[in-house]
Chain A
């Protein structure tokens, strides 16, 4: 089966930088995605890494190391509206099945 580990809660100051880590165990790994979910809302896609390295999208960056089964989401210039839950998710396939499996999420609180 698959397993993903990420911190349950993180607190950071407005304007600062925060990194949310994700480690995973899975077979048939294709890539690592990140999603944001505000309270009461639906998850929304942030980024995807299939290859090692850093992907940057505005204030958000995502990193993957396939050899270490590890990735992280980096949020810069934090804003109050970034307070939300962040989920990592692995895409994997095996024995004819294809799944997108999510971690339990990290609740980010941005404080003034």
Chain B
């Protein structure tokens, strides 16, 4: 079954304690990205990756890191979490922009990770 898997689904942590949210996809997609979703603000892109070892900042990258050592995995790292990073996080993957028309716009999302930083 084609899917994007995020872990953990729920996480409560304390300010300053490093954490990693994992994301894995089994569709051989080139493009992967992380979004955070906050009430009234929609989905905002944090970081994205166009392929292995190629990452770039999205609209709200401050306080986050990512890596793309393998095509299937795209972990999100919070080196020193703060309460303003409390949010619902989604990982997504899609074919590259150069794929047949429409496929880039068709993103598959993970189940989400609800993070609370106290």
Identify the A interface with B (CB < 8 A).
Answer: 1, 8, 30-33, 35, 41-45, 48, 50, 87, 89, 91, 93, 97-105
Given contacts A42-B111, A100-B33, A100-B94, contact A48 B102 (CB under 8 A): yes
- Which of A41, A93, A98 has the most CB atoms of chain B within a 10 A radius of its CB? A98
A105 with B101, Cβ < 8 A, contacts A42-B90, A45-B107, A100-B33 known: no
Give residues of chain B (1-56) contacting chain A, Cβ–Cβ below 8 Å. Answer: 31, 33, 35, 40-45, 48, 50, 56
Question: From residue 42 to 100 of chain B, which have CB atoms closer than 8 A to chain A?
Answer: 42-45, 48, 50, 56, 58-59, 90, 92, 94, 96-97
Q: A42-B111, A100-B94, A102-B35 are in contact. Are A30 and B45 (CB under 8 A)?
A: no
Chain A, Cβ-Cβ closest to B96: A98
Q: What are the 6 tightest A-B residue pairs by CB atom distance, in nearest-first order?
A: A104-B42, A33-B105, A102-B43, A42-B109, A48-B105, A48-B102
Q: Which residue of A lies closest to B43 (CB)?
A: A102
> Are A87's CB and B43's CB within 8 A?
yes
- Complex A-B: 19 CB contacts under 8 Å: A1-B59, A31-B101, A32-B105, A35-B107, A42-B109, A42-B110, A43-B43, A43-B107, A44-B109, A50-B102, A87-B43, A89-B105, A97-B56, A98-B48, A98-B97, A100-B45, A100-B48, A100-B105, A102-B42
Q: Would you call A91 and B104 a contact (CB within 8 A)? A: yes
Q: Are A31 and B105 in contact, with the CB atoms below 8 A? A: yes
> Interface size of B by Cβ–Cβ distance < 8 Å?
30
- Chain B residues within 8 Å of A, Cβ to Cβ: 31, 33, 35, 40-45, 48, 50, 56, 58-59, 90, 92, 94, 96-97, 101-102, 104-112
B42 / chain A contacts, CB cutoff of 8 Å: 87, 102-105
A31, A42, A44, A45 interface centre (most CB from chain B within 10 Å): A42
Residues of B within 8 A of A8 (CB): 40
Complex alpha-carbon distance, A66 and B87, angstroms = 34
Whole-angstrom CA separation of A8 from B39 in the bound complex: 11
Residue of B nearest to A33 (CB): B105
Residues of A near B101 (CB, < 8 A) are: 31, 50
